[in-house]
Amino acid sequence: MSDVFEPVIVGFTCNWCSYRAADLAGTARMKYAPNIRLIRLMCSGRLDPTFVFKALANGADGVMITGCHPGECHYLEQNYKALRRFHLMRRTLKGLGVEPERVKLVWASAAEGAKFASEVTAFVEEIRALGPLHWGKALGNGSTPNVAEEAVGKEKMEVAA
């Protein structure tokens, strides 16, 4: 592994626009950062915040959600629902002290392969700048947390004279 931080990103794409945009980026041989792994949903409206939390909890450093442009939803208006959930989700993450920027919503039509590619590369850099989330390592999956000495720093253990 190189010493530069390579973020792990999970991408949720709409089957009708952004997933096809990703395909287009491929057929056009556009290059973008390999840090992203895509999951195909029928619609950005299918995106359940659970998916995002799950990804972050399981080791992803960022999540990219992509859908059809407002007004162009394959299912008429579901991307607006995704938009609302996204807003509330980011606010919640903020409350949890997680940088909301780790979750990004991108509109990309089936024609916007180039946009998709550049958005991915840009997002990877944004996350790289934010640094690792390493949530999984810390608390994930019942790993025994280290104890008081670290929580309550040693020096604090002494009585202040």
The answer to the question of residue 141 lying near other proteins (CB under 8 A) is: yes
Tally the C-alpha atoms within 13 A of residue 2's C-alpha that lie toward its C-beta: 4
- Report, in Å, the least distance between residue 103 CB and other proteins: 12
The rounded distance, in Å, linking the Cα atoms of 118 and 72 is 21
Q: CB–CB of 105/11 below 8 Å?
A: no
- Report, in Å, the least distance between residue 95 CB and other proteins: 3
Sheet strand arrangement including 9-14: 36-41, 9-14, 62-67, 103-107
The answer to the question of residue 6 lying near other proteins (CB under 8 A) is: yes
- Report, in Å, the least distance between residue 64 CB and other proteins: 13
For residue 105, give the nearest of 87, 127, 117, 129 by alpha carbon: 87
Contacts to other proteins from residues 28-57, by CB under 8 A = 29-32, 34-35, 37-43, 45-51, 53-57
Number of residues that bind other proteins (CB under 8 A): 84
Q: Which residues 6+ apart lie within 8 Å of 110 measured at CB? A: 16, 17, 18, 20, 21, 24
The answer to the question of residue 26 lying near other proteins (CB under 8 A) is: yes
Binding track over 84-123 against other proteins, x by CB under 8 A = xx-xxx-xx--xxxx------------------x------
One residue of 17, 22, 106, 108 binding other proteins per CB under 8 A: 22
DSSP string, 58-71: TT-SEEEEEEPPTT
- Report, in Å, the least distance between residue 98 CB and other proteins: 5
